[in-house]
Chain A
């Protein structure tokens, strides 16, 4: 049992303490924008924000996340508008299959909060998500576009 605050709403989820946050979000809360890719914090498809920091939710337990502010892709925008990273993603037609893109967008949104005008080196260091379609070129262009938006 844990109280999770997700996208501003506190939800009581009836799961074991060691349940990965990813599965509580997907199966118990029902927000499926956060994706399962590896379960071992390698691929980044499950990236969410925990107290504003990008974290791989498959590697965080619900007991660790309880009481903290969790943001998923569904809660990234504010006041009915998409986040500027989402807008840049649409403008630059970034996703191919799109499966890794929720995690990619969450990682980028956290980067821009820390470094509003990231250099290519900043991007190389901070964005370590796997994209098997290989849409990295568009990701990079869209990050720069979002930074100047």
Chain B
């Protein structure tokens, strides 16, 4: 069923989710989280860490044995920001890197200290780039105070002292002391009003591929993820939410499972879910599966992938309303009068994040306190969710962040936290660990949004591209999860990678350009999935660029270069991969190349692939070259891993992914129907980092945009076949 109501160019099937997201925003403001960034450095009152060691400021605690504890507000989910942020603080602090350890402040502590650690949100590849300035200042300020404390003790001017490797030296006399010896005095000093940050060219710890700080426990089984939390007297919960999004829980027959082993309680969770609480999770899950449940599925049960596709296709019609995201000249008129035009329609499906660790949260609720233990990409959002679900005031709520078994955007959402609190609230005093089965995780994702795109290019008589019309139809993430960020109804993020300016600007100059979005929001809840809108926009644009090059009878690289003269940074990464893969020399017999570029998250990226194809449908990816200009590289070893990992995530989605809708619910249930690449399918990724400085871009996500088009363009070169609908398994195309 597809409602006809419309608001501007937006058409929606799920106003309910919109409202829920709004409530979270309100709770956040109510908790005092929405105030501006405040950096309460030191001051006369010494603040102490749990072990009694003094804080020099909110970011730096130094123990008497010279151990440096660096506070990290952003979450570590594998992307390496924990190590990178520590490197930036340590660089300015001039401390001994071998004595650095890290800890997470809790969101509750942050609220109590007027948001001392700023934003906790770890998404949008922002972990480092949006906090680098103030964490470096935290390190630099602490260094100045430590030096001053030593100078005071020696009764010499601080200007005669230097610090390196946690040792302070009075240069004229050669006297030395260490940070651990002066930290008590330093913590009592007034922080300097201003500090000068180092020029990145002078970095010694930052900018280097130092080893991650969290590796050892990940190799011994000792690392505690959310799923591993153990609390005295803890019970375990398994949950089923109505498989049709927007449906309700009608009834359940708990008498049928009351005598099953280990079952303690059956609880309703909100108006759409039911959970079984048992001694072990295995007992809870087994009982839940045995319990008869009746759902009120509602009208959304009539929605299918076919009905969604039909609705989105209607949005490709120029007569339908659309938001304009990028425009110059008059593309429609230029296309109408062109010597030659090329048109193609692409589509990209829903995708599940499929983090290796399914969603989970552990909660201990009493009428006086609500504590949450979970992996989250946004401690403050989890805190706000717990606040709202518990009904307790901010000072009685806290969230303890644990290592994430993958995030990719999924754990920026707080649905699982809210559910866990709702269950625990019905069993006060008993710690409850809620764990989703993989099947529940597949059924209740926050999916990569679904879109279609019609692209039309027009040439003059000399095969110059004179017009490009890029018409998207489909889902807006912000409409669902952050409606306050819409601009007069338009989702500005929908144009990531094809925008006019900003951190995801289009790299091509076309005299007549029209980029627009007919917003259509099906009932399937969307979320920020690694790369977000850069993903499909880069696939559509970069595949179509190859189609245009072919129509113009030009080489795909040469064709792009002609359009990129005004965007030298976009061009530089493209040139870097072209050079590395040897684009100007013929590929070996039977090997074909593809190339792609995009800007996203403030960084410029390009990728090139070499493939061979057998039987027209079996692709062997032989080689991948990728280039990134993120401005500054804080840890090249970790950036390299993010680049390679982006290819695995993007190509998994391209070949194996795709979530389909039948009877209003997602059809894929586990890794047997939503597969992921294995080691045998993945070649080595050769990274070329070309940081040009002067800006800070993210690295966790942008590269995923070029992963699929580089391979698809190579497949096109090999076979002449253009695939415009994904995943490839639906086209009977697979890895060789």
Contact = CB atoms under 8 A, between A and B. Distances in A.
B354 A98 contact: no
A40 B282 contact: no
Interface in B201-243: 211-212, 214-225, 227-228, 230, 236
B408 interface: yes
Given A130-B678, A133-B406, A133-B645, A90 B356 contact: no
A77 B222 CA distance: 13
B404 interface: yes
Contact of B648 (A31, A95, A134): A134
A38 B220 contact: no
A89 B214 CA distance: 12
B211 A132 contact: no
Interface of A: 15-16, 19-20, 23, 27-28, 30-40, 42-43, 45, 72-74, 77, 82, 86, 89-90, 93-102, 105, 123-125, 127-140
Main secondary structure of the interface of A (DSSP, over half): loop
Given A27-B281, A42-B670, A96-B78, A138 B641 contact: yes
B606 to A, nearest CB: 19
Given A39-B437, A134-B648, A19 B282 contact: yes
A20 B282 CA distance: 9
A20 B106 CA distance: 36
Given A39-B437, A73-B221, A134-B649, A97 B678 contact: no
B438 A38 contact: yes
B99 interface: no
Interface in B179-218: 211-212, 214-218
A126 B726 CA distance: 29
Contacts of B641: 96, 133, 135, 137-138
Given A32-B221, A134-B677, A97 B670 contact: no
A32 B435 CA distance: 14
Contacts of B684: 137, 140
B77 interface: yes
B80 A96 contact: yes
Given A40-B671, A97-B78, A132-B356, A82 B215 contact: no
Contacts of B403: 97-98
Q: Nearest 7 A-B pairs (CB), nearest first? A: A33-B221, A134-B648, A97-B78, A98-B218, A99-B405, A96-B78, A124-B680
A130 B494 CA distance: 31
A34 B722 CA distance: 43
Given A39-B438, A97-B405, A134-B649, A128 B678 contact: yes
Contacts of A23: 280-282
B261 interface: yes
Contact of A30 (B230, B435, B672): B230
19 contacts: A15-B282, A23-B282, A27-B281, A32-B224, A82-B219, A93-B637, A95-B218, A96-B641, A97-B407, A98-B78, A99-B355, A128-B679, A132-B354, A132-B356, A132-B652, A133-B645, A137-B644, A137-B685, A139-B679
A134 B682 contact: yes
Contact of A130 (B78, B408, B676): B676
A131 B680 CA distance: 12
A36 B221 contact: no
Given A93-B215, A98-B403, A130 B356 contact: yes
B647 interface: yes
Given A94-B219, A123-B680, 9 more contacts: A23-B280, A32-B221, A33-B220, A35-B225, A36-B227, A37-B356, A98-B218, A127-B679, A130-B676
Contacts of A30: 230
B670 A134 contact: no
B214, B227, B671, B684: residue with the most chain A Cβ atoms closer than 10 Å:
B671
Contacts of B77: 97
A129 B212 CA distance: 23
A101 B685 CA distance: 20
A92 B403 CA distance: 20
B483 interface: no
Contacts of B261: 16
Contacts of B358: 36-37
B79 interface: yes
Interface of B: 77-80, 211-212, 214-225, 227-228, 230, 236, 261, 280-282, 354-358, 403-408, 435, 437-438, 637, 641, 644-649, 652, 670-672, 676-680, 682, 684-685
A92 B406 CA distance: 20
A132 B637 contact: no
A90 to B, nearest CB: 6
A25 to B, nearest CB: 11
A129 B282 CA distance: 23
A130 B652 CA distance: 11
Contact of A98 (B214, B435, B648): B214
A101 B356 CA distance: 10
A77 B684 CA distance: 29
A113 B683 CA distance: 25
A105 B672 CA distance: 22
A3 B357 CA distance: 29
B220 A86 contact: yes
Contact of A96 (B79, B222, B224, B671): B79
Contacts of B220: 33, 73-74, 77, 82, 86
B217, B282, B355, B403: residue with the most chain A Cβ atoms closer than 10 Å:
B282
B218 A27 contact: no
Contacts of A34: 221
A102 B228 CA distance: 13
A83 B362 CA distance: 32
A90 B221 contact: no
Nearest to A91: B211
Given A36-B227, A42-B670, A101-B219, A134 B645 contact: yes
Given A97-B403, A130-B676, A132-B356, A137 B215 contact: no
Nearest to A16: B261
A99 B437 CA distance: 16
B678 A127 contact: yes
A99 B357 contact: yes
A15 B261 CA distance: 9
B698 to A, nearest CB: 16
Given A23-B282, A38-B438, A125-B680, A133 B219 contact: no
A36, A72, A100: residue with the most chain B Cβ atoms closer than 10 Å:
A36
B637 A133 contact: no
Nearest to B360: A36
A46 to B, nearest CB: 11
Contact of B404 (A28, A90, A97, A139): A97
A28 B282 CA distance: 10
